[in-house]
């Protein structure tokens, strides 16, 4: 009996998924969301996964911001929410603190397992300023992983 279609098998730099073989290439999907200093204001943006025939294997999430201070322990405090267009799937059922959603500003959050995102998936991110003393800046959201290329 063959393996289920959802099993990912890695053979060197090749990936087998759903009976197909792919080559993997490192890929970053990025989104810059410009924020002003309005208390509790929400700022939306979207990332679109390439519309090719293969999924993107997400391995980490990172959020930086131009309002972050110069020391590693200093980061602008805001909330994040995300939803993709695959059945309206919510990545969080509410707003999550930036660090809880994407880890620390220098290293991000490495997922314990790779998450597969279908080709042409659109992810809508919302960044919400905190209720007290936000600073204007540009939040950069990065999705890092492997873009699969059919061989």
Q: Summarize pLDDT for 38-76 with one digit per residue, the tens.
A: 999 999 999 999 988 789 999 999 998 998 887 777 788
Domain contains 45: yes
The model's pLDDT over 78-93, given as tens digits with 9 standing for 90+, comes to 999 999 998 888 998 8
Candidates 108, 83, 105; CA nearest to 94 is 83
Distance, CA of 130 to CA of 135 (rounded, Å)? 10
73 located within any domain: yes
Is the CA virtual torsion 42, 135, 109, 62 positive or negative?
positive
For residue 3, being part of any structural domain is answered with no
pTM of the full structure = 0.86
Within-domain flag for 65: yes
Residue 30 — very low, low, confident or very high, per pLDDT cuts 50/70/90?
Answer: very high
Number of domains in the chain: 1
| Whether 127 contacts 32, CB under 8 Å | no
- For residue 4, is it within any domain? no
pLDDT of residue 133: 83
Q: Which of 131, 133, 140 minimizes the C-alpha distance to 65? A: 140
The verdict on residue 101 lying in a domain is yes
Q: What span, in angstroms and rounded, lies between the C-alpha atoms of 128 and 126?
A: 6
Which pLDDT does position 46 carry in this prediction?
97
State which residues form the domain around 124: 25-150
């Amino acid at each position: 009996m063959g393996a289920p279609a959802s099993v990912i098998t890695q053979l060197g730099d090749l990936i087998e998924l759903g009976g197909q073989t792919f080559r993997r290439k490192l890929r970053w999907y990025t989104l810059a969301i410009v924020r002003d200093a309005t208390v509790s204001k929400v700022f939306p943006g979207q990332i679109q996964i390439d519309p090719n025939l293969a999924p993107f294997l997400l391995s980490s999430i990172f959020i930086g911001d131009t309002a972050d201070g110069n020391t590693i322990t200093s980061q602008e405090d805001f909330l994040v929410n995300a939803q993709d267009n695959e059945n309206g799937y919510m990545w969080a059922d509410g707003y999550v603190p930036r660090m809880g959603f994407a880890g620390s500003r220098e290293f991000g959050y490495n997922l314990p397992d790779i998450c597969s995102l279908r080709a042409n998936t659109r992810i809508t991110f919302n960044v919400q300023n905190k209720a007290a003393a936000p600073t204007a800046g540009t939040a950069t959201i990065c999705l890092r992983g492997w873009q699969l290329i059919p061989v």
